[in-house]
Amino acid sequence: MQQNNRITDSEDDWKNVKAVALTSKIKPDPVLELVKSMTKAEKRSFRLYATRIGDSKNAKFVALFDAMDEVAVFDEAKILKKSGIPKSQLANVKIYLYHQLLTSLRQSGVDGYDDISLHEQLDFARILYAKGMYRQSLKFLDRAKHQAVDRQQFTIALEIVEFEKLIESQFITRSSTTRADDLTTEVQNLSSTIQKASEFSNLAIQLYALYLKRGHVRNRNDIMFVEDYFTKHRPKFDVRRQGVYEQLYMNLSNYWYSYILQDFLACYRHTQRNVDLFAEYPMLKQSMSSLYFKSFNYLLESLFYLRHYSRFKEALEAVHTEIVKRENIINQNAEILARSFYYANRMNLHFMDGTFSDGLEIVPELLDFIKENENKIDQHHILVFYYKVACLYFGSGNFKRAISFLNKIIDTRDEDVRSDLQCFARILCLIATYEGGDDLMMEYQIKSTYRFLVKMNDLNVVQREILAFLGKFGTFYRSDINKLFRALHEKLLLYENMPYEKRPFLYLDLTSWLESKMKNVSVQEIIRQKFIRRSNMQQPSLGVTGNPRI
């Protein structure tokens, strides 16, 4: 009975994947998408807002809102019928509704967003200034400026100081004989802080883009290129005068540099510093919620590659607690990020302790999450989800289902999105095809995989060994199979810790797979045994005193 249920669950999972693929081809309507993203409280606030700007019963934009709230997908005929709006007026009413929705959301969301609240005070100051009430305007600006600096909103603080300069140039307040010098110094300090943070932020995003394009370093030339790029673009800084923003983005750029180079201990140390900064400046959890959760995700990824199970599990539980409490998740974007990171790392937890079959329990929930947020999750992260799900199925022995998810990656036409992931998806698919006993597909897949790896310039020694081994498998005598598995295992062990050849082992636990064939047990059992042995040993020191705390 349990086995039948699992098969049914897998079929339902695959239906969800196909549903995501089909619906993702439909271009979403921006107005309907915004309506569907609103909470019940936001919809209630909008209806109250609508009553204040006119007769809501006769307002066409309210009728359109109600019609869109009732439909699941954009169906023009159904919306026109429900709203009673003539087709010729629909486009204009949609534009007006979109504007009113954003206005309502802005008003209702002032308290939850530091930047919106500060901009509101800046708007008030501008209104007072336009009416010639300069002293009152300056009072608003002074209060907003101090709040902006306290909340590390330096860009807004600079905008406020520039406005103060404008007023002082027209209206002499005589509040201080050094007023001009004070404002000039404030502008210089804020500009310097923003520039340094921006330079490190630019470097971080460029390194991230480089990783998406090329993945981890593949050879000495890759390392020289990345080191040279990092050295040329890294801003000069004075550690004694660094602001918190500059520190955050410097640590982030250092993380991506180390991640591309596969120096995961350095990755851990850099991202742990960011986690500690958020603990030291808790107000940043709201204004920088995305980086807050990304820092925890990078911490978890570093611990995963370092195989530091206890610290990894502690950090994962802390993130889950934060999602449940929702105290610092202030918008849907932050919640989607947090849940994405939690799902990915929860699967990583099962990879670490060898409980692949148990990990399949999360798959239906994950696929529902992807389906619900298909327009809010980028293609890169969806492919990563599919690869991890495929690994769960492979580890649990369901090779057919693993191949189904791997094909979703292989069929992706955008070669700029994780080309390295596509390469290793083909390798794992080839191994899963062999495990599934589909000999007819083996020869075709070997040639196809070989051509793709050559095309992507991603054919390394480990991949050549795997392709050569599987390509000759049909010529082996059955009595020699175990001996050949051992020979390949011995070869791969030599490459596992080599700087340029260890990259495949980040995606596939090839040695554990070979050991499972040599001992005639499941790969899940092999990885589980290794985990138990590691658990009985003292885990290595990470060299950082910080804790993965929220």
- In tens, the pLDDT along 472-481 reads 766 666 667 7
The predicted pLDDT at position 11 comes to 54
Structure token digits, residue 368: 């529902």
CB atoms within 10 A of CB 455: 12
Place of tokens 């809010």: 376
The predicted pLDDT at position 12 comes to 56
Show Cβ contacts of residue 348 under 8 Å, excluding neighbours closer than 6 positions: 300, 301, 304, 312, 388
Whether the per-residue pLDDT at 27 is higher than 80: the answer is no
pLDDT digits (tens, 9 = 90+) for 97-118: 999 999 888 887 666 677 888 8
pLDDT digits (tens, 9 = 90+) for 229-262: 999 999 888 877 788 889 999 999 999 999 999 8
Q: What is the separation, in whole angstroms, between the first and last Cα of the chain?
A: 42
Q: What angle do CA 150, 549, 289 make, to 5 degrees?
A: 45
Whether the per-residue pLDDT at 15 is higher than 60: the answer is no
The predicted pLDDT at position 364 comes to 95
Distances (CA, A) of 59 to 41, 66, 68, 90: 21, 11, 15, 13
- Cα torsion 62, 63, 68, 70: sign: positive
CB atoms within 10 A of CB 473: 14
pLDDT digits (tens, 9 = 90+) for 267-302: 999 999 999 999 898 888 877 888 999 999 999 999
pLDDT digits (tens, 9 = 90+) for 181-196: 888 888 988 898 888 8
The predicted pLDDT at position 541 comes to 64
Place of tokens 């790392």: 345
Structure token digits, residue 169: 């140039």
Confidence class for position 5, pLDDT limits 50, 70, 90 = very low
Confidence class for position 174, pLDDT limits 50, 70, 90 = low
Show Cβ contacts of residue 393 under 8 Å, excluding neighbours closer than 6 positions: 10, 356, 360, 399, 401, 402, 405
Mean pLDDT of all residues in 302-315: 92
The closest alpha carbon to 498, from 198, 223, 287, 234, belongs to 223
343 half-sphere exposure, CB direction, 13 A CA radius: 24
Whether the per-residue pLDDT at 22 is higher than 90: the answer is no
Mean pLDDT of all residues in 3-27: 50
pLDDT digits (tens, 9 = 90+) for 511-537: 888 899 888 899 999 999 999 988 877
Share of the chain above pLDDT 70, in %: 85
The closest alpha carbon to 212, from 378, 46, 342, belongs to 378
Distances (CA, A) of 419 to 180, 181, 425, 484: 55, 54, 10, 31
The predicted pLDDT at position 330 comes to 64
Structure token digits, residue 349: 């937890």
Mean pLDDT of the chain: 83
Share of the chain above pLDDT 90, in %: 37
**Cβ-contact 111, 117 below 8 angstroms:** yes
pLDDT digits (tens, 9 = 90+) for 127-161: 998 988 988 999 999 999 998 888 888 899 999 99
The predicted pLDDT at position 238 comes to 81
**Cβ-contact 492, 481 below 8 angstroms:** no
**Cβ-contact 437, 430 below 8 angstroms:** no
The predicted pLDDT at position 344 comes to 94
DSSP character at residue 521: S
CA dihedral 197, 199, 203, 208 (to 10 degrees): 50
pLDDT digits (tens, 9 = 90+) for 374-433: 888 888 889 999 999 999 999 999 999 999 999 999 888 765 556 678 888 888 998 898
> What span, in angstroms and rounded, lies between the C-alpha atoms of 157 and 544?
34
CB atoms within 10 A of CB 135: 11
pLDDT digits (tens, 9 = 90+) for 340-373: 999 999 999 999 999 999 999 999 999 999 998 8
The three-class DSSP label of residue 276 is: helix
Confidence class for position 538, pLDDT limits 50, 70, 90 = low
The predicted pLDDT at position 416 comes to 54
